[in-house]
Amino acid sequence: MKNKQLILVKRPKGLPEPDTWEYKTEAVVPLQEGQMLVEQQFVSLDPAMRGWMNETRSYIPPIKIGEVMRAGTVGKVVETKGTTRYNKDDYLVGWGGVQQYVITNGGGYQKVAPELADLTTYLGVLGLTGLTAYFGILEVAALKKGEVVLVSGAAGAVGSVVGQIAKIKGCKVIGIAGGKNKCDYLKNELGFDAAIDYKNESIRKELKRNCPEGIDVYFDNVGGETLDHALANLRINARIVICGAISQYNSQQVVGPKNYLSLLVNRASMKGMVVFDYESQYDQARIQMSKWMKEGKLKTKEDVYDGIDNFYEVFLKLFSGDKLGKLVLKINK
């Protein structure tokens, strides 16, 4: 049995080029006592992958040169040896990386139920992206009914869930996205109150029109100028959640906020969040979001592409905006 892997071979500067990685095929080695062989089904593609390739330490250590490209995955246990945490034919979500097979003792993996939801859902709404949205808006932002919520990257995997949860909680929600199709999706399918097309509209003018009294919560996925626009429109005691800054990930010189004194004037706060801090509450969150999904209050959308060989082309969609919802790669054999 052969295992095709995507290996990080150089640290990119700016937007990664194809030679940032190389493919390697090697034989799957025999299992040792307590190990399992997982056949990967789907790989999650996330903006955070860009940061993991940098040499500087982030909230988790960087990927080492020569290692398999880090990624969240969902797969099926096809072989076990001895006493293992999970059984053959179990489906698991974890950090298998961009490869066809992974050998593990089960640490860091969780069992999922394909009969309850599509496997890709466990990389989206019921995966780390959905959990990021859940804890970011409910715990970090401490959302209150009736507040005005602004979400950037609103048509993406995290932003789309943030906005829907805010609507469930009785808030007015404005999303920022690129292009008419995405904005129509936010308003017509996800129930956002308004959507700002940053590619064709003035964010500054549209914020004044849609949020004349300012915003209570800004959930930031993009950083850059969009963050500055939000800072200029805060209400008293507003909260900003820093979840991501995709506009800056491929920049060699990161641009920080210019309007930060708005935090002082408005007695506002700006706080970063990492979903791993809430690991002990994952099950509780998944139960609640599953309930909302069954009730039709929370919708999910995965943008799925085929083939490990197509990783680079699909990866670029994270930064071009050529996607809707959660970006997933199917690992065809």
Distances (CA, A) of 46 to 33, 123, 185: 33, 10, 21
Q: What does the pLDDT read at residue 256?
A: 73
Instruction: Give the three-state DSSP class for 290.
Output: helix
Q: What pLDDT, on the 0 to 100 scale, is given for residue 319?
A: 87
What distance in Å separates the CA atoms of residue 176 and residue 180, rounded to the nearest whole number? 11
Residue 144: burial class (beta carbons within 10 Å; 0-12, 13-18, 19+): exposed
Query: pLDDT tens digits for 283-332?
Result: 899 999 999 999 999 998 889 999 999 999 999 999 887 888 899 999 97
Task: Note the pLDDT of residue 248.
Answer: 63
pLDDT recorded at residue 67: 97
In terms of pTM, does the model score above 0.85?
Answer: yes
Residues of the chain with pLDDT under 70: 246-254, 333
- Per residue in 139-161, pLDDT (tens digit) is 999 999 999 999 999 999 999 99
Non-local (6+) Cβ contacts of 229 within 8 A are: 203, 204, 207
What lies within 8 Å, CB to CB, of 294 at 6+ separation is none
- Based on the number of CB atoms within 10 Å of its own CB, is 289 exposed (0-12), middle (13-18) or buried (19 or more)? buried
Tell me the H-state helices in 67-127. Answer: none
Ordered structural domains, the chain, with CATH: 2-124+300-330 (3.90.180.10), 128-276 (3.40.50.720)
